[in-house]
Amino acid sequence: MALYPFTTAALTSLTAAGTTQSLKVNAQAVSFQVTVSSIGTNVVLRFEGSLDGTNFANLDENANDTTITADGTTIYSLSGTPVEHVRVRLVSLDGGTPTVATVVGAL
């Protein structure tokens, strides 16, 4: 699947630690719309990018993960970081039976 030019696509939902499928975006600006439901205490996410579709790294400039502590929808935007592929990693969850659904937009 590819996104050219700006459009959106849903990634696989996560209910346990692991990663979504990767999405080819070929973009310098990417937004992740994350919706979390049935959260217990928190979920920890990592937004990852790749130049080759095989080797992924944290897109946060300080290599920090993102902790979400309540149900709801939030958008995380990154620009000036050219990548070919993106995905989301559910690093950990604490309590509840959360579902993490993500829609990606790229330009």
Residue 2 is predicted with a pLDDT of 60
**Residue whose structure tokens are 């897109």:** 59
Give the separation between CA 43 and CA 8, rounded to whole angstroms. 23
Within a 13 Å sphere around the CA of 9, how many CA atoms are in the beta-carbon half?
Answer: 20
Residue 87 is predicted with a pLDDT of 97
Whether 91 contacts 17, CB under 8 Å: yes
pLDDT tens for the chain, 107 residues: list them.
665 567 899 999 999 999 999 999 988 899 999 999 999 999 999 999 999 999 999 999 899 999 999 999 999 999 888 999 999 999 999 999 999 999 999 88
- pTM of the predicted protein model: 0.92
